[in-house]
Structure 1
Amino acid sequence: MFKGRNFDRSVILLCVRWYLAYNLSLRNLEEMMAERGISIDHATIHRWTLRYAPLLLEQFNLRKRAVTGRWHIDETYIKVRGRWTFLYRAIDSNGDTVEFWFSERRNLTAAKRFLARALKRNGRPGRIIIDGSQTNREAILSCDTVDRLRNTSRLKLTPIRIRQSQYLNNLIEQDHRAIKRRVRPMLGFKSIDSARTILSGIEMEHMMRKQQAKYACNPQPSLAEQPDLHPTGTREGTEAQGATPIHRHDTTTSSTPPTTNTKREQHPTEARPR
């Protein structure tokens, strides 16, 4: 995953995680790395984010916990090149993220794709709570019907109950704030592809902050520890690859004095290098 890179994997993961999790610009990260003695161009950090955010999300989904049977569905606005696009999102009754879907349009087709993806990855909920959107209601009814018709098991699937209430859907409205809080300092995205990739990384960091992944070694790792626990970046991987940790100071004492960089005297019979 990190083979052929000029920087250590710990530097790459740190820059990508900080950019996705906190309100930092690419130039802020460039200055912060320079203060630590690491010279990185801000464009390099942007390329790292576009490359590794989808890969980290893929590994995170392998460890994502199951969600509850009551979902809240809504969409929020995201500006791309001066025009509004839409981010469909769903959370469960505990506030955990169920699924998200970025779309250029807000219509029935986009809502169906989002619902079909959520049902495929997370199973069928017992109830879905939405606001007054009739488009989302039609999408739920359509996807529910298709899912029940495709059912080949002997167990009969019960229809998904739909509850339309603006008050009960305040839970997901509050959850939107975490995403908008990170997107707002970016002042909009420059392209659809970069918006889709970076938003997926922001959603991943939001799920990591809510402790939605299962890890055998540590039930509740911190936000900084979780990227190192993925198969693509295990904690012991740094030592196995022979990488040197950054800013590791040797605090052990030695009985022998430190050597100085004095020039070694050349023996008369020793051949000089050409």
Structure 2
Amino acid sequence: MIEFKGSHFEREVILWGIRWYVAYPISYRQLEEMLEERGVEVDHSTLNRWVVKYVPLLDQQFRARKRPVGASWRLDETYVKVKGSWKYLYRAVDKVGATVDFLLTAKRDRKAALRFLRKAINQHGVPKKITIEKSGANTAAIESYNAEHEAEIEIHQNKFLNNIVEQDHRAVKRVARPMLGFKSFRAAMATLAGVELMHMIRKGQLRTTGELCPAQQFYSLAV
């Protein structure tokens, strides 16, 4: 269970604010107005603190209950602006579109790609095949992992097959776009983790008991 002690707001209000922010393309000031209309006066900076503080805990709970993914992955990276500079969001999906994992990095190189690969494998195990575009950094990262762990991950370069992950990028960036850029790397990591979390819930990637709508699934992570 996630503890909400010390807050001036009820647990349900905090979770409501977080979920709406990471689920829909709105800004903190828009969310502040929406809450005010419902009788809840909370500053947009407080909403930001809720996301940064609680999303990592919700993400941890989600990972413990995440469904397995397939052994054929599509790996790619996209761009996210943090403090006025472009950073790199590494992402992978399996062949049916289920999210494997994601990682925000400051650089786009072999070390960053290898960090992402290790994170994804720690969660889901070693895949049989990874499809990438013609990226030297991603190729080098997979080859490094194979050499270090005596693994046999097959590297497949195919732009057409990688369309599935590029389309999935758009779903995440559509929600992140109105956020008007991130003020810190930490805030960017937490916010994107929340967006990815809600995106995975909508794709049916959370193990649940009974029929729960996406909102109920999100709230269940705090119990």
What band does the TM-score fall into relative to the shorter chain? over 0.9
4+ aligned runs moved over 2 Å, structure 1? none
Deviation per residue, 1:48-82 (Å, 9 max, x gap): 11110101000011100000010000000011122
Quote the offset at 1:142 in angstroms. 0.9
Structure with the higher helix share, 1 or 2: 2
Quote the offset at 1:116 in angstroms. 1.2
Q: Residue type of the partner of 1:136? A: N
- 2:183 aligned partner: 190
Quote the offset at 1:228 in angstroms. 2.5
Give the match's secondary structure for 2:4.
Answer: coil
- Among 102, 122, 125, the alignment partner of 1:120 is 122
Task: Supply the distance in 2 between the matched residues of 1:85 and 1:5 (Cα, whole angstroms).
Answer: 32
Q: Residue type of the partner of 1:130? A: I
TM-score where L is the length of structure 2? 0.95
Task: Supply the distance in 1 between the matched residues of 2:173 and 2:208 (Cα, whole angstroms).
Answer: 28
Task: Supply the distance in 1 between the matched residues of 2:131 and 2:52 (Cα, whole angstroms).
Answer: 33
- 2:17 aligned partner: 15
What 5-or-longer segments of structure 1 have no aligned partner?
149-156, 234-274
Structure 2 residue 170 is the aligned partner of structure 1 residue 177: yes
Greater relative contact order (Cα 8 A, min sep 6): structure 1 or 2? Answer: 2
Quote the offset at 1:8 in angstroms. 1.1
Q: Residue type of the partner of 1:191? A: S
Quote the offset at 1:221 in angstroms. 2.0
Q: Residue type of the partner of 2:183? A: K
Q: Residue type of the partner of 2:77? A: E
Q: Look at both structures and tell me which one has the larger radius of gyration over its CA atoms.
A: 1
- Among 200, 211, 223, the alignment partner of 1:207 is 200
Q: Residue type of the partner of 2:84? A: G
Quote the offset at 1:147 in angstroms. 2.1
Q: Residue type of the partner of 1:223? A: P
Query: Does the CA contact (< 8 Å) of 2:182 and 2:188 recur in 1?
Result: yes
Task: Supply the distance in 2 between the matched residues of 1:146 and 1:116 (Cα, whole angstroms).
Answer: 11
TM-score where L is the length of structure 1? 0.78
- Report sequence identity in percent: 47
Q: Residue type of the partner of 2:177? A: R
RMSD after superposition: 1.2
Give the match's secondary structure for 2:131.
Answer: strand
- 2:33 aligned partner: 31
Q: Residue type of the partner of 2:12? A: S
- Paired residue total: 221
